[in-house]
């Protein structure tokens, strides 16, 4: 994006809590608390993960790997579903979803299948924000 200001897509902003920013991405928590679901939004104009320059791609996926480790260690995930889809929201965003056998839409993927909903309390969001910032070494 060079010097342009990166603006988060309004749909992503509406569907999530902001957890902070790394040098290369916004870090979001999906508002639906039924499954632990983090979203990394790279500050780039590219819309497909597989088109990114390798150096940027590597940094971003390293961060996703840290998020995955966090979901396993602290949020009960037994399995990580990782995806870059973007059919509805063209701004590139990387889903890192913690899954476990018997969760609300197991074994289906969450996209288009997660019908149950739950909300995080403000305290829960604050806790997750702190934990994720630690996991990503933000600020």
Q: Count of residues binding a second copy (CB under 8 A)?
A: 33
Listed ranges 14-22, 99-107, 120-128, 130-138: which one lies at the site for a second copy (CB under 8 A) = 99-107
Question: Whole-angstrom Cα distance, residue 45 to residue 57?
Answer: 13
User: Using CB under 8 A, which of 6, 18, 47, 120 touches a second copy?
Assistant: 47
Q: Any bridge partners for residue 131, and if so which?
A: none
Block residue for tokens 């979203």 = 39
3-state secondary structure of 78: coil
- Measure the CA angle with vertex 95, ends 90 and 99; round to 5°: 150
65 binds a second copy (CB under 8 A): yes
User: Using CB under 8 A, which of 50, 122, 123, 137 touches a second copy?
Assistant: 50
CB neighbours of residue 107 within 10 Å: 10
- Supply the minimum distance, in Å, between the C-beta of residue 126 and a second copy: 25
**Where on the chain is the footprint of a second copy (CB under 8 A)?**
47-51, 54, 57-58, 61-62, 64-65, 68-69, 79-88, 96, 99, 106-109, 111-113
């Amino acid at each position: 994006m060079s010097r342009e200001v990166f603006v988060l897509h309004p749909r992503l902003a509406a569907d999530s809590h902001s957890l902070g920013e790394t040098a290369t991405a916004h870090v979001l928590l999906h508002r639906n608390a039924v499954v632990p679901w983090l979203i990394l939004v790279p500050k780039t104009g590219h819309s497909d993960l597989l088109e990114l320059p390798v150096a940027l791609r590597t940094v971003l996926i390293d961060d996703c790997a840290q998020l995955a480790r966090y979901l396993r260690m602290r949020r009960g995930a037994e399995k990580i579903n990782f995806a870059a889809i973007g059919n509805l929201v063209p701004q590139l965003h990387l889903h890192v979803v913690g899954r476990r056998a018997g969760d609300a839409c197991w074994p289906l993927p969450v996209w288009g299948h997660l019908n149950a909903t739950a909300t995080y309390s403000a305290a829960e969001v604050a806790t997750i924000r702190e934990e994720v910032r630690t996991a990503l070494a933000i600020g």
